[in-house]
């Protein structure tokens, strides 16, 4: 079939969604099951099985997640320049399967080895499947945002299932009677491997329908030369794994990496900017403001997999909405459930406000995201007033905190991705999307440091004193989030000017 014709057909689809979106939806859903399943297990596994103290586990968590997101930047670049999105996705999926299998075989022995495979794998998979969603639409197609919303729902269905199932299985709370106690973590990591196989098979069986979308950017090149460069990339990404393993396991190296990568990408961006006119430069500066603030958002939000995991394990009961549930599972997955339930509702609220000419602009939405975040963390703080003398407090109230934070996420995360594409010139789209994810890397990195500080303050304390220390830590985060929100809303007219006609 003529691939150009096929691509044309895809982008000229009728109805609300192209059918290829559903294929990407399911592939990403299973990949996020694997990713969020792992994320939810990291800290609990490190503390209970690797016997790390809480501070070290938080730092290690931050380092791991920082590398995952930093690699999405690198994976995006290699897809753009060498492999194309499809091969990147396939290779990334294979590495993620390998990583999960290694962990399923012996998570204690091979912990950092397996994790390093999944770091590189996610880097090749995650950014490129999102870009493929964008490629299903022509520029200016008004159905694009709805497509991304549906995709975001898929992300969160996977995150919900994986976030609950994996950690609850690892802890022996789920399927405990069927799995020998010494194998629960192997099975939990095994789940991640199985779903990643499903993700990859889904992609393999459906990719034929993608026309020319995501094919190699080097097709014009001589076959042997292209193959050499491609295999060079595969081999290079394998060779880098021991290096990542060292950098993740020794967090001082992560510090060094994080000091370098951000400034280096900024220098690169400023270098690229020299050829742009003033309007484009202003837009990129506006994009940098969004990126800068998103770092703080993720640093607080990602306490979820870090300090909040420990808080959930030690300081929360297991009753929510009349159900008995594992508090770690709830901490990992409540947010995803709320995204699925409320994403469409919030979308309708924006439309309703827009009709009355009252819809806040993107900068103000970002500001609102911080206000929701502040309120959510204040609720986490407030749980201390519902504690029993043993330092165990209400999972119900905690879950309500996640509901409030979810509205913050919805005001920032999907909107942030789309504003990156709107503010960047075509040539810099991948780089800017990469920088957006790099902000998540910094957020994750700081999340680990913040969580470690809270953990240090409560080391060797009774469960009750620990609860109070964590709660007070969350009150500080609430205050910082509030300040960030107010600053953003105050500077919104300036940023709006930089954005010019972009909304
Ligand atoms: N929850 C979203 C996802 O997994 C966004 C994550 C992020 O950008 N930090 O895709």
The answer to whether the CB of 413 is under 6 A from ligand 1 is yes
**If you take atom 7 of ligand 1, which residue's CA is the nearest one?**
440
The answer to whether position 9 is within a domain reads no
State the total domains in the chain. Answer: 1
**If you take atom 4 of ligand 1, which residue's CA is the nearest one?**
155
pLDDT of amino acid 82: 92
pLDDT of amino acid 8: 56
The answer to whether position 1 is within a domain reads no
Report which of residues 4 and 360 the model is more confident about: 360
Q: Could you tell me the pLDDT band of residue 157, with boundaries at 50, 70 and 90?
A: very high
The answer to whether the CB of 298 is under 6 A from ligand 1 is yes
Q: Within its chain, how far is the Cα of 200 from the centroid?
A: 19
The answer to whether position 3 is within a domain reads no
- What spacing in Å lies between the alpha carbon of 302 and ligand 1's midpoint? 10
Residue 113 clears pLDDT 50, i.e. is over it: yes
The answer to whether the CB of 166 is under 6 A from ligand 1 is no
Residue 155 clears pLDDT 50, i.e. is over it: yes
Q: Which of 96, 32, 58, 23 is nearest to 333 (CA)?
A: 32
User: Mean of the per-residue pLDDT values for the chain?
Assistant: 92
pLDDT of amino acid 42: 95
Determine which of 20-34, 223-237, 423-437 has the lowest per-residue pLDDT on average. 423-437
> Exposure pattern of 234-251 as b/e (b: 16+ CB <10 Å)?
eeebeebbeebbebbbeb
Tens-place pLDDT, residues 453-500:
988 888 788 999 999 999 999 999 999 999 999 999 999 999 999 999
- What spacing in Å lies between the alpha carbon of 410 and ligand 1's midpoint? 11
Q: Which of 54, 121, 134, 67 is nearest to 89 (CA)?
A: 121
Q: Residue 316's beta-bridge partner residues? A: 393
Residue 91 clears pLDDT 50, i.e. is over it: yes
Q: Which of 491, 246, 254, 478 is nearest to 362 (CA)?
A: 491
Residue 6 clears pLDDT 60, i.e. is over it: no
pLDDT of amino acid 1: 40
CATH number of the domain enclosing 415: 1.20.1250.20
The answer to whether 67 and 445 are in contact (CB under 8 A) is: no
Residue 437 clears pLDDT 80, i.e. is over it: yes
The answer to whether position 11 is within a domain reads no
Range of the domain at 172: 16-499
Q: Which of 331, 484, 448 is nearest to 56 (CA)?
A: 448
pLDDT of amino acid 2: 42
Residue 5 clears pLDDT 80, i.e. is over it: no
Tens-place pLDDT, residues 30-86:
999 999 999 999 999 999 999 999 999 999 999 999 999 999 888 888 988 899 999
What Rg value do the Cα atoms of the chain yield, rounded?
22
The answer to whether position 2 is within a domain reads no
The answer to whether the CB of 440 is under 6 A from ligand 1 is yes
How many Å apart are CA 56 and CA 28, to the nearest integer? Answer: 31
pLDDT of amino acid 131: 82
The answer to whether position 6 is within a domain reads no
**If you take atom 5 of ligand 1, which residue's CA is the nearest one?**
413
| Number of the ligand 1 atom closest to the C-alpha atom of 69 | 9
Tens-place pLDDT, residues 315-344:
999 999 999 999 999 999 999 999 999 988
Give the global pTM: 0.89
């Amino acid at each position: 079939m003529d691939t150009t014709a096929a691509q044309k057909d895809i982008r000229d689809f009728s109805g609300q969604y192209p059918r290829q979106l559903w294929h990407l939806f399911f592939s990403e859903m299973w990949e996020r099951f694997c990713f969020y399943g792992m994320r939810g297990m990291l800290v609990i596994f490190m503390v209970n099985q690797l016997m790390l103290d809480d501070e070290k586990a938080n730092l290690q968590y931050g380092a791991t997640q920082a590398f995952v997101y930093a690699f999405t930047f690198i994976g995006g670049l290699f897809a753009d320049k060498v492999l194309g999105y499809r091969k990147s996705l396939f290779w990334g999926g294979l590495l993620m399967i390998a990583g999960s299998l290694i962990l399923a075989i012996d998570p204690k022995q091979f912990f950092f080895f397996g994790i390093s495979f999944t770091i590189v794998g996610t880097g090749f998979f995650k950014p490129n499947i999102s870009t493929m969603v964008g490629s299903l639409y022509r520029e200016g197609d008004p159905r694009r945002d709805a497509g991304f919303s549906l995709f975001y729902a898929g992300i969160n269905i996977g995150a919900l299932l994986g976030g609950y199932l994996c950690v609850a299985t690892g802890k022996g709370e789920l399927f405990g009677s069927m799995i020998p106690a010494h194998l629960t973590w192997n099975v939990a990591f095994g789940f991640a491997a199985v779903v990643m196989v499903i993700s990859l098979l889904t992609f393999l069986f459906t990719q034929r329908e993608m026309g020319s979308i995501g094919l190699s950017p080097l097709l014009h090149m001589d076959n042997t030369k292209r193959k050499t460069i491609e295999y060079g990339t595969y081999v290079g990404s394998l060779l880098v794994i021991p290096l990542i393993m060292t950098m993740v396991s020794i967090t001082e190296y992560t510090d060094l990496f994080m000091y370098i990568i951000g400034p280096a990408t900024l220098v690169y961006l400023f270098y690229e900017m020299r050829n742009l006119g003033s309007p484009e430069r202003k837009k990129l500066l506006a994009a940098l403001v969004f990126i800068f603030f998103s770092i703080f958002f993720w640093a607080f939000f990602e306490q979820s997999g870090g300090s909040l995991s420990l808080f959930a394990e030690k300081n929360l009961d297991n009753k929510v909405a009349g159900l008995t549930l594992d508090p770690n599972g709830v901490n990992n997955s409540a947010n995803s459930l709320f995204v699925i339930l409320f994403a469409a509702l919030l979308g309708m609220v924006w439309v309703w406000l827009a009709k009355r000419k009252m819809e806040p602009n993107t900068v103000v939405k970002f500001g609102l995201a911080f206000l929701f975040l502040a309120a959510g963390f204040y609720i986490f703080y407030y749980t201390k007033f519902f504690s029993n003398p043993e330092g165990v407090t209400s999972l119900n109230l905690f879950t309500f905190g996640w509901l409030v934070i979810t509205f913050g996420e919805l005001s920032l995360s999907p909107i942030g991705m789309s504003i990156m594409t709107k503010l960047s010139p075509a040539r810099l789209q991948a780089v800017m999307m990469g920088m957006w994810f790099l902000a998540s890397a910094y957020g994750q990195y700081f999340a680990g440091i913040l969580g470690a500080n809270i953990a240090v303050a409560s080391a060797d304390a009774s469960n009750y004193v620990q609860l109070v220390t964590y709660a007070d830590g969350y009150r500080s985060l609430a205050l910082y989030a509030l300040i960030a929100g107010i600053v953003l809303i105050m500077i919104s007219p300036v940023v709006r000017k930089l954005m010019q006609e972009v909304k």
